[in-house]
């Protein structure tokens, strides 16, 4: 492949990912359609398959970017709070997660609409982004659960992520019923204070 073609392919890849990201943000993962992408990117339908294996690969790349933005949001909210208690830091992370999901609902949903398994054969950078999120949680968990075994702390990190995700998911799916934002925050706080021993 000449350098020129490589450059053109790279530009098309970026364009298609941008369009797919807009579609997901507006109408969810289901709205990413090959014909629409080709039309909007002004390329032939077949050109998409020169630069991507399939539509799923494009969605996966958008999801990788979403994970990265989510990680950035958590990092941003933690900045300057390094000296707060582990419980406070866990609550900060969970609220950053809640904010992100509320503000980027369709992009956030798409992260979990693609099955989350090793079957997915996702590239390493994807798992790295996911791992980054877990590392943020693992920090305060290791401090407040110092007496636990390594295995238990790993499971606790995962359990907390799953729990907060469960609360946020139900909260967002239920948002037409009167589940107030402060109630969601209180539920998150109850779980985190409980498991962290309010340390």
* Interface with a second copy (CB under 8 A): 112, 115-119, 152, 155-156, 158-167, 169-171, 173-177, 183, 186-188, 190-191, 194-197
- Give me the least distance between CB of 142 and a second copy, in Å please: 14
- Give me the least distance between CB of 174 and a second copy, in Å please: 5
**Cβ closer to a second copy: 66 or 157?**
157
Pick from 65, 129, 68, 73: nearest CA to 97: 73
**Cβ closer to a second copy: 2 or 121?**
121
Place of tokens 């294996």: 53
**Cβ closer to a second copy: 80 or 115?**
115
- Give me the least distance between CB of 169 and a second copy, in Å please: 7
Pick from 36, 41, 55: nearest CA to 8: 41
**Cβ closer to a second copy: 48 or 96?**
96
- Give me the least distance between CB of 195 and a second copy, in Å please: 3
- Give me the least distance between CB of 2 and a second copy, in Å please: 40
**Cβ closer to a second copy: 11 or 155?**
155
- CA 7/CA 91 separation, integer angstroms: 44
**Cβ closer to a second copy: 47 or 114?**
114
- Give me the least distance between CB of 184 and a second copy, in Å please: 9
C-alpha distances in angstroms, 14 versus 21, 86, 109?
10, 39, 22
């Amino acid at each position: 492949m000449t350098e020129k073609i490589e450059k053109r392919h790279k530009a098309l890849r970026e364009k298609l990912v941008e369009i797919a990201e807009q579609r997901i943000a507006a109408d969810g993962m289901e709205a990413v359609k090959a014909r629409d992408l080709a039309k909007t990117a002004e390329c032939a339908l077949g050109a998409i398959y020169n630069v991507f294996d399939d539509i799923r690969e494009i969605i996966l790349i958008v999801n990788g970017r979403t994970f990265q933005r989510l990680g950035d949001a958590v990092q941003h909210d933690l900045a300057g709070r390094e000296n707060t208690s582990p419980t406070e830091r866990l609550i900060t992370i969970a609220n950053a997660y809640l904010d992100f999901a509320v503000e980027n609902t369709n992009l956030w949903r798409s992260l979990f609409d693609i099955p989350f398994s090793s079957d997915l054969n996702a590239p390493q950078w994807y798992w790295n982004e996911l791992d980054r999120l877990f590392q943020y949680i693992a920090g305060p968990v290791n401090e407040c659960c110092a007496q636990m075994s390594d295995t238990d702390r790993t499971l606790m990190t995962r359990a907390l992520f799953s729990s907060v995700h469960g609360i946020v998911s139900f909260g967002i799916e239920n948002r037409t019923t009167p589940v107030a934002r402060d109630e969601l925050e209180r539920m998150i706080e109850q779980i985190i204070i409980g498991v962290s021993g309010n340390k």
